[in-house]
């Protein structure tokens, strides 16, 4: 494929120039890579670098005859040309457990594993993948074609008696916990499994049980945003990678070009796919959270 045809090369309004988008798994660049990008932006662009919504950088105002040289130098810099067309584009992630006190999973590591396996794969539709360490969903995973959210199910230990201090009640944004007869009581129907109550308990009486990944499919942003459909939950990164691979294969084989994935989930039999994938991953669990059911418009 010629450099002009790569998804990360975007023709500007003035067709003599292109914007070159870079590959940046989980939005992470080293300091040395950033220095290299700055030098290349001065040499081949207009001296500016633009940050994108998909956690990467792009070099604007590059002349067409300079694309090959720039691509080679970007490759050497460890920041090759990215992807933007009907492909698996840059995979984004929140900081995860390495930095965020609310996170339940290692989003950065998992995003890099997904990138290494699937980035740039040609698809009938554009495939955006986003990871969020908790239901705060800072990366809007449910507005992506594939979303991954880290969750935990909180349980109160039975060995020690709850003090009834109400700290968990205070910090729960869903009003899912109440103090009844001096004990904390969780309303499972309101709980979004964010895990804040686990961290808020000074007496270590609320534990994290069933730490898992919620996977959603078919979300979209744009002029008519739509929340993705909940597929299932799994407990390990290996299971996530397996399921993501199966989703990509299913979309590759069944989806039509020219339509957003969210518009054709029923046509390509999403419910049947969910049944099949549940059989292939016996440890997977169905999703019962009504707020993540199919087809809810934002």
Same fold across 3-76 and 92-151+211-292: no
Return the CATH architecture of domain 153-209.
2-Layer Sandwich (3.30)
Quote the CA–CA distance of 85 and 257 in Å, as a whole number.
12
Burial group, residue 234, by CB count within 10 angstroms (0-12, 13-18, 19+): buried
- Is this structure's pTM higher than 0.85? yes
pLDDT of residue 158: 76
Q: Give the class (CATH, top level) of 92-151+211-292.
A: alpha beta
Quote the CA–CA distance of 78 and 260 in Å, as a whole number.
32
3-76 CATH: 3.30.70.3340
pLDDT of residue 4: 73
Task: Transcribe 76-132 into DSSP letters.
Answer: HTT--B---SSBB---EE--GGGT-TT--S-HHHHHHHHHHHHTT-B-SS-B-EEEE
pLDDT of residue 294: 36
What residue spans define the domains of the chain? 3-76, 92-151+211-292, 153-209
Tell me the C-alpha to C-alpha distance, in Å, between residue 174 and each of 87, 171, 185.
37, 9, 13
Q: What is the pLDDT along the chain (298 residues), one digit of tens a residue?
A: 577 777 899 999 999 999 999 999 999 999 999 999 999 999 999 999 999 999 999 999 999 999 999 999 999 999 999 999 999 999 999 999 999 999 999 999 999 999 999 999 999 999 999 999 999 999 999 999 999 999 999 988 876 788 899 999 999 999 999 999 988 999 999 999 999 999 999 888 888 888 999 999 999 999 999 999 999 999 999 999 999 999 999 999 999 999 999 999 999 999 999 999 999 998 899 886 544 443 333 3
């Amino acid at each position: 494929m010629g450099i002009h045809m790569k998804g990360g090369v975007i023709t500007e309004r003035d067709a003599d120039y292109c914007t070159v988008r870079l590959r940046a798994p989980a939005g992470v660049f080293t300091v040395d890579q950033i220095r290299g990008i700055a030098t290349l932006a001065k040499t081949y662009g207009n001296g500016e670098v633009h940050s994108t919504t998909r956690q990467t950088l792009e070099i604007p105002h590059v002349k067409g005859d300079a694309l090959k040289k720039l691509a080679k130098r970007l490759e050497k810099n460890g920041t090759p040309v990215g992807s933007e067309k009907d492909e698996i584009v840059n995979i984004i992630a929140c900081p995860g457990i390495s930095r965020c006190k609310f996170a339940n999973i290692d989003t950065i590591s998992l995003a890099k594993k997904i990138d290494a396996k699937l980035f740039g794969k040609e698809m009938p539709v554009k495939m955006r993948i986003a990871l969020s360490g908790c239901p705060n969903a800072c990366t809007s995973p449910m507005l992506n074609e594939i979303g991954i959210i880290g969750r935990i199910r909180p349980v109160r230990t039975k060995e020690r008696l709850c003090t009834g201090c109400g700290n968990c009640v205070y910090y729960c944004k869903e009003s899912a916990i109440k103090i009844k007869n001096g004990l904390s009581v969780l309303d499972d129907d309101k709980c979004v499994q964010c895990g804040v109550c686990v961290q808020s308990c000074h007496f270590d009486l609320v534990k994290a049980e069933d730490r898992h990944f919620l996977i959603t499919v078919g979300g979209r942003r744009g002029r008519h945003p739509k929340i993705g459909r909940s597929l299932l939950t799994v407990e390990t990164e290996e299971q996530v990678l397996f399921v993501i691979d199966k989703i990509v294969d299913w979309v590759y084989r069944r989806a039509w070009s020219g339509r957003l994935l969210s518009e054709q989930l029923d046509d390509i039999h999403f419910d049947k796919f969910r049944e099949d994938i549940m059989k292939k991953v016996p440890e997977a669990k169905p999703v019962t959270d009504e707020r993540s059911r199919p087809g809810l418009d934002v």
